[in-house]
């Protein structure tokens, strides 16, 4: 599962739509797991403030996918 989520996150990020896996959260915490933030760092993102980064990434994903006029 981790590998598949990583591939999705990378592909979506490269396409400029944000890390779609920001919507995938742990049942026990309601937050993404460490792997999400590790991959974000590998993609050159600043994850110093995890909560802020995650919320910004969610907003980026939501902005793209909630736009009915988006191409694709």
Structural domain that includes position 41: 2-65
The pLDDT value recorded for residue 71 is: 58
The answer to whether the CB of 13 falls within 8 A of the CB of 19 is yes
Has residue 50 been placed in a domain?
yes
Has residue 72 been placed in a domain?
no
The pLDDT value recorded for residue 68 is: 74
- Number of domains composing the chain: 1
Has residue 61 been placed in a domain?
yes
Residue 72 has pLDDT above 80, yes or no: no
Has residue 70 been placed in a domain?
no
Has residue 16 been placed in a domain?
yes
Burial 12-32 (b: 16+ CB within 10 A, else e): bbeeebbbbbbeeeeeeeeeb
Has residue 23 been placed in a domain?
yes
Has residue 25 been placed in a domain?
yes
- 10-55 tens-digit pLDDT: 999 999 999 999 999 999 999 999 999 999 999 999 999 999 999 9
């Amino acid at each position: 599962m981790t590998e598949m989520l990583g591939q999705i996150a990378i592909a979506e990020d490269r396409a400029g739509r944000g890390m779609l896996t920001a919507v995938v959260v742990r049942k026990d915490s309601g937050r993404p797991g460490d792997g999400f933030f590790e991959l974000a760092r590998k993609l050159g993102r600043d994850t110093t403030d995890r909560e802020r980064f995650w919320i910004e990434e969610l907003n980026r994903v939501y902005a793209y996918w909630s736009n009915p006029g988006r191409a694709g």
